[in-house]
C-alpha cells in the first residue's frame, strides 16, 4: 500500500475521487494526509470527514520560502509519503520537496498539455482559451512535477471532444467529471508499477 499525500487548494473533488478510489480498493494506496495552502479549502473539510489528517501550510504562516519548504517536508516524512499528488494545488513546490520526491510528484491538469499550461493557465482560464482557439478536443493530463508549472514529463492523457455549444462552464464540468475517473485509473497504475516512480 502506497502512502499518498494529496495537495489541494480549493474544493477538492479530485481529492474526494482519490479517497473513494482508495477506500473502494481500486488504488493500492491510502490517502495518508492532505496539505493545503488555503485554510478555507473544502478539501481540508473532506479530509476531516474521511478521518484523514489535514494541514494548512501557507506563506502567511511561513513567509520564508525555505522554512515553508522544510515544514512541508516534515509533514511528508511524518506520514511516510511514497507519492505526492497535486489535485488543484496552486502553489509551486519548493526545491527541498522536489529533490527528495523527484519522480514521485504528480499533477492533474485540465487540458492536453503542452498546450494550455503554464503560468495563469488554471481554472476557467484554461477552458476559455480552449474554446477561443476553436479546439476540437480537450482533456486531462497527469504529469510529473518539476520546478516549472505544467512542464514535467507526461504520464498519461485522456481526450474528450469540445462540443459546438460548449461554454467554458459546460466544458469545465465535463473535464472535471473525466478527471474523477482518470485520476483513479492512473493512480492505480502508478501504485502498482514501480516504473512510474
Ligand atoms: C481540477 O480541474 C484540476 O485539474 C486542477 O484543479 C482542479 C481541481 O478541482 N489542477 P477540485 O478542487 O479537485 O474540485
Tell me: the pLDDT tens digits for 30-78? 999 999 999 999 999 999 999 999 999 999 999 999 999 999 999 999 9
Scan for cell 470527514, then name that residue.
Answer: 49
Phi, psi angles (nearest 5°) of residue 182:
-65, -40
Q: Cite the beta strand spans of 83-189 per DSSP E.
A: 83-86, 105-109, 137-144, 154-161
User: Per the structure, how many domains does the chain have?
Assistant: 1
Helix/strand/coil percent split, the chain, to 5:
40, 20, 40
Over its C-alpha atoms, the chain yields an Rg (Å, rounded) of 16
- For ligand 1, the distance from its centroid to the CA atom of residue 36, given in whole angstroms, is 13
The CATH number of residue 184's host domain is 3.40.50.170
Ligand 1 atom 7: residue of nearest CA: 88
Q: What span, in angstroms and rounded, lies between the C-alpha atoms of 185 and 180?
A: 9
Rounded distance from Cα 78 to ligand 1 centre (Å): 26
CB–CB of 81/74 below 8 Å?
no
CB 37 within 8 Å of CB 75: no
Q: Which of 87, 112, 123 to mutate to test the pocket of ligand 1 (most atoms within 8 A of CB)?
A: 87
Active-site residues: which are they?
109
Does the beta carbon of 38 sit less than 6 angstroms from any atom of ligand 1?
no
Domain that holds residue 50: 2-196
SS3 call for 67: helix
Q: Is the CB of 158 under 6 A from ligand 1?
A: no
Angle at 152 between CA 63 and CA 41, to 5 degrees: 45
- The answer, yes or no, to whether any atom of ligand 1 lies below 6 A from the CB of 94, is no
Q: What is the rounded CA–CA span in Å between residue 107 and residue 118? A: 13
Q: Give residue 91 CA to ligand 1 midpoint distance, Å.
A: 13
Nearest protein CA to atom 6 of ligand 1, as residue: 88
Question: pLDDT value at position 119?
Answer: 86
- For the stretch 12-28, pLDDT in tens is 999 999 999 999 999 99
pLDDT number for residue 150? 79
Length of the chain: 197
pTM: 0.95
Amino acid at each position: 500500500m502506497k502512502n499518498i499525500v494529496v495537495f489541494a487548494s480549493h474544493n477538492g473533488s479530485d481529492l474526494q475521487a482519490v479517497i473513494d478510489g482508495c477506500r473502494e480498493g481500486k488504488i493500492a494506496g491510502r490517502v495518508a494526509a492532505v496539505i493545503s495552502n488555503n485554510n478555507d479549502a473544502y478539501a481540508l473539510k473532506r479530509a476531516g470527514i474521511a478521518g484523514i489528517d489535514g494541514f494548512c501550510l501557507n506563506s502567511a504562516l511561513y513567509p520564508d520560502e525555505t522554512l515553508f519548504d522544510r515544514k512541508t517536508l516534515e509533514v511528508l516524512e511524518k506520514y511516510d509519503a511514497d507519492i505526492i499528488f497535486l489535485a488543484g494545488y496552486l502553489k509551486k513546490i519548493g526545491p527541498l520537496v522536489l529533490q527528495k520526491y523527484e519522480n514521485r510528484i504528480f499533477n492533474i491538469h485540465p487540458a492536453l498539455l503542452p498546450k494550455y499550461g503554464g503560468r495563469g493557465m488554471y481554472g476557467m482560464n484554461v477552458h476559455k482559451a480552449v474554446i477561443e482557439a476553436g479546439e476540437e478536443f480537450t482533456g486531462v493530463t497527469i504529469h510529473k512535477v518539476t520546478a516549472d508549472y505544467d512542464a514535467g514529463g507526461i504520464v498519461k492523457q485522456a481526450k474528450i471532444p469540445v462540443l459546438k455549444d460548449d461554454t467554458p462552464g459546460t466544458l469545465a464540468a465535463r473535464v472535471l467529471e473525466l478527471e474523477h475517473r482518470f485520476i483513479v485509473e492512473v493512480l492505480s497504475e502508478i501504485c502498482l508499477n514501480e516504473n512510474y516512480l
